[in-house]
Structure 1
Amino acid sequence: MHITKLQPFILHAPVTRGGISDSTHSITHWGAPGVAIHCDSGHVGYGFSGTHAHLPTDRMIVDCITDGFGPLLTGRDPREVRDLWQTLYYNPQLRWVGRSGITHLALGAIDIALWDLKAKAAGEPLWRLLGGSSQKSVEAYNTDGGWLNWSLQDLVGDCRRMVEQEGYRAVKLKVGGKRLGDDIKRVEAVRNALGDDVRIMTDANGRWNLPTAIEASRRLVDYDVTWIEEPMQFDDCEGHRRLAESTSLPIAMGEQLYMAMQFRDFIQAGAVHYVQPDIVRLAGITEWWQVADLAHSYALPVVPHVGDMAQTHQHLCIAHPACHLLEYIPWLRDWMKYPAQVECGQFLTPEDPGAGTEPTAEALDTINKVS
């Protein structure tokens, strides 16, 4: 097998109810700038990043894929994924202009596409290629009902629906609003509505300073919250260490960490308890696996953030022993040929060859396609 061409694409999918907000962002669409890697065998692998659907920066990512990395890939065997990753990651010209920005996101999309190709060539779902078992179950927790721009009534109603009608036993709520008291009232209302048997995760999206995070953690403990996610600025390892020393509430983080070395620093400092690597922020599946192995060696659970919103993290959770719980957000569901599927709060095991990253023909024919 040899790579013959790279074909870029950009997909923009509308989010729930036309717009969502957390403590730091408000968006109407989710972006998936990516690439289809074609081989002389006829196989095609698909990989993409995850963005806030900003077309200028999405174009920078796909330009980097084709113009920066493309010449290094053409003619290579796509099954040699780890060697290709090393070649691309340590390329001196591209590394000089970015180790954790656009070049990193572009490499992540390529790496995902290569693993999709490798699994398709083997005729296996990615989880089986990576040594996973069909006997393993992965629980889903739903993030798509806890947005800050939901009214209290809508928030409680959505959480009740997810639990009572869809079978979820874990939901996530956004916090970090203008007043901490309002955050606490929202968590209290959901806890009272769902009872004690449903897990509630909270996510501040990096909004708080250290004193506010300490106070919020002290108050959230009263509502049996599973974790506080990204309580402070994403790169502040020392601040998260000090927070971890001050509270019994576990800290979850990782979606905004772009390099395995950053995870190493947080883990060694005792600044994180639930590790949340994301293939579209790290340089793909290859670097994600490095982080998952590191967390597992410290006996820390890995609960990926799902910037891909496809099946890929599901395959990885089935295959890696540190993973048993996975976030679910359905924004790309209608755009994927093989979307992630959840029944009664559990992910259904994929059986189709590949990583589940292939867009539908209709999705690839949208106006945001890059020729």
Structure 2
Amino acid sequence: MRITKLEPIILHAPVTRGGIKDSTHSITHWGAPGVAIHTDTGHVGYGFSGTHAHLPTDKLIVECITDSFGPLLIGEDALATRALWHKMYKSSEIYWVGRSGITHLALGAIDIALWDLKCKALDMPLWHLLGASGKEKLEAYNTDGGWLNWSKQDLVSDCKRMVEEQGYRAVKIKVGGDSGTEDLRRIEAVRHALGDEVRIMTDANGRWSLPDAIRLGNQLAQFDISWIEEPMGFDDVKGHQRLANAMSTPIALGEQLYLTQQFRDFVQAGAVDYVQPDIVRLAGITEWWTVAELAHANNLPVVPHVGDMGQVHQHLCMAHPACNLLEYIPWLSNWMKHPAQVKDGYYVASQAAGAGMEPTAEALATINKI
């Protein structure tokens, strides 16, 4: 099965209620720049990255896919996924200009598409190809009701709806607003509304300084918070180590890390409790699996960052024994042929061949309109 063509794709899907906000970003659309890889057998594999739908940047990603990596792939065996990943990763010209950033985002999209191709050629879902772990379903936690631009009343209402009507037993709330005191009030209101049995996660998106993270992180403990995600600057291993030693609230991080070696440094420093690899910033499924194995070897749970790449992450989590929980965000659910399905608070294993990232015909029809 030889690769004949790489076709660039950019999708922009609207987010909830026309716009969301965390401590550092406000967006109206989720971007999915990616690629369709065509083969001489007629099989087509799809892979995407994830952005804040900034068209100039999205174009840079797909240009890197087709113009930089594309020539390395034409004529190659599409089933040689790991060999092709190493060929692209070690390409001297591309390696010279970036071992993370846009080049990693582009490589990740290609890698997903190659795994998608292999699954389709073998007529099996990705979780099955990766070996599975005996899981038939996977617990989901919902992020899409905890945004900072929601009023406290709307925040509480949305969280109650997720639990009482949709069956979720875990939700995530954004913190890192202008007032740490108000952050705590919002968390207190949600805990009071949901009771003691529902898990609450929090996410500061890197907003806090070390003193603020210590102060607020310790105060979060009174509300039985499962974790504080990205409390500080994303690459500060030493600072997170000091924070972990100064508070009881567990730390989750990883969505902004691009390399296996970065995860290794956080794990070895005891600076992370929940490991959150994302195939978008890691260079696809191939490197994601390496990070999951690293976490598993150190007895740490893997809870991937989704935003919104749950279509693929559901397969990885079904297959890897370190994963028992996965974030849910619905932005791409109407854009994919086989979207991730959550029923009564659990992901249900997809039976469709592939990695779950093939767009619908309607989604593909929007490409030239962006």
How far is the alpha carbon of 1:136 from its aligned partner? 3.6
Letter in 2 for 1:356: G
- 1:228 lines up with 2:223 in the alignment: no
Instruction: Kindly indicate whether the alpha-carbon contact (under 8 Å) linking 1:48 and 1:308 is maintained by their aligned counterparts in 2.
Output: no
Could you tell me how far apart the structure 2 residues matched to 1:79 and 1:262 are? 29
- 1:149 lines up with 2:149 in the alignment: yes
Structure 1 stretches lacking a partner, 5+ long: none
User: Between the two proteins, what is the percent identity of the paired residues?
Assistant: 72
Letter in 2 for 1:124: M
Output the TM-score relative to the length of structure 1.
Answer: 0.98
Could you tell me how far apart the structure 2 residues matched to 1:364 and 1:102 are? 23
Could you tell me how far apart the structure 1 residues matched to 2:74 and 2:134 are? 35
Partner of 1:34, secondary structure, is: strand
Could you tell me how far apart the structure 1 residues matched to 2:328 and 2:59 are? 27
How far is the alpha carbon of 1:133 from its aligned partner? 4.4
- 1:355 lines up with 2:331 in the alignment: no
How far is the alpha carbon of 1:308 from its aligned partner? 4.2
Partner of 2:188, secondary structure, is: helix
Could you tell me how far apart the structure 1 residues matched to 2:149 and 2:323 are? 31
- 1:173 lines up with 2:173 in the alignment: yes
- Change beyond 3 A, Cα 1:323–1:135: closer
Letter in 2 for 1:298: N
**Deviation per CA, 1:210-251, whole angstroms, max 9, x where unpaired?**
000000111100000000000000000100000000011100
How far is the alpha carbon of 1:369 from its aligned partner? 6.3
Instruction: Kindly indicate whether the alpha-carbon contact (under 8 Å) linking 2:119 and 2:353 is maintained by their aligned counterparts in 1.
Output: yes
1:169-248 → structure 2 map (5 Å cutoff): 169-248=169-248
Q: Which residue of 2 aligns with 1:321?
A: 321
Could you tell me how far apart the structure 1 residues matched to 2:367 and 2:79 are? 32
1:1-371 → structure 2 map (5 Å cutoff): 1-133=1-133, 135-368=135-368
How far is the alpha carbon of 1:325 from its aligned partner? 0.2
Structure 2 stretches lacking a partner, 5+ long: none
Letter in 1 for 2:160: R
What is the aligned length? 370
Output the TM-score relative to the length of structure 2.
Answer: 0.99
Instruction: Kindly indicate whether the alpha-carbon contact (under 8 Å) linking 1:12 and 1:368 is maintained by their aligned counterparts in 2.
Output: no
Letter in 2 for 1:37: I
Could you tell me how far apart the structure 2 residues matched to 1:160 and 1:307 are? 22
Instruction: Kindly indicate whether the alpha-carbon contact (under 8 Å) linking 2:133 and 2:320 is maintained by their aligned counterparts in 1.
Output: no
- Change beyond 3 A, Cα 1:266–1:196: same
Partner of 1:173, secondary structure, is: strand
Higher deviation after alignment, 141-150 or 358-367? 358-367
Instruction: Kindly indicate whether the alpha-carbon contact (under 8 Å) linking 1:32 and 1:50 is maintained by their aligned counterparts in 2.
Output: yes
Instruction: Kindly indicate whether the alpha-carbon contact (under 8 Å) linking 1:279 and 1:308 is maintained by their aligned counterparts in 2.
Output: no
Could you tell me how far apart the structure 1 residues matched to 2:261 and 2:134 are? 32
Instruction: Kindly indicate whether the alpha-carbon contact (under 8 Å) linking 1:11 and 1:369 is maintained by their aligned counterparts in 2.
Output: no
Could you tell me how far apart the structure 1 residues matched to 2:313 and 2:297 are? 20
Could you tell me how far apart the structure 2 residues matched to 1:32 and 1:262 are? 25
Letter in 1 for 2:110: I
- Change beyond 3 A, Cα 1:55–1:286: same
Could you tell me how far apart the structure 1 residues matched to 2:264 and 2:134 are? 30
**Deviation per CA, 1:252-297, whole angstroms, max 9, x where unpaired?**
0000001111000000000000000000110000000000000000
**Deviation per CA, 1:42-93, whole angstroms, max 9, x where unpaired?**
1100000000000000000000000000000000111110000000001000
Partner of 1:311, secondary structure, is: helix
Letter in 1 for 2:112: I
How far is the alpha carbon of 1:367 from its aligned partner? 4.4
Instruction: Kindly indicate whether the alpha-carbon contact (under 8 Å) linking 1:309 and 1:333 is maintained by their aligned counterparts in 2.
Output: no
Higher deviation after alignment, 126-135 or 171-180? 126-135
Partner of 2:137, secondary structure, is: coil
**Deviation per CA, 1:313-355, whole angstroms, max 9, x where unpaired?**
0000011010010000000111000100101100011000000
Could you tell me how far apart the structure 1 residues matched to 2:231 and 2:136 are? 31
Letter in 2 for 1:113: A
How far is the alpha carbon of 1:310 from its aligned partner? 3.9
Instruction: Kindly indicate whether the alpha-carbon contact (under 8 Å) linking 2:9 and 2:367 is maintained by their aligned counterparts in 1.
Output: no
Instruction: Kindly indicate whether the alpha-carbon contact (under 8 Å) linking 1:237 and 1:265 is maintained by their aligned counterparts in 2.
Output: yes
Could you tell me how far apart the structure 2 residues matched to 1:63 and 1:340 are? 28
Instruction: Kindly indicate whether the alpha-carbon contact (under 8 Å) linking 1:295 and 1:301 is maintained by their aligned counterparts in 2.
Output: yes
Could you tell me how far apart the structure 2 residues matched to 1:224 and 1:6 are? 48
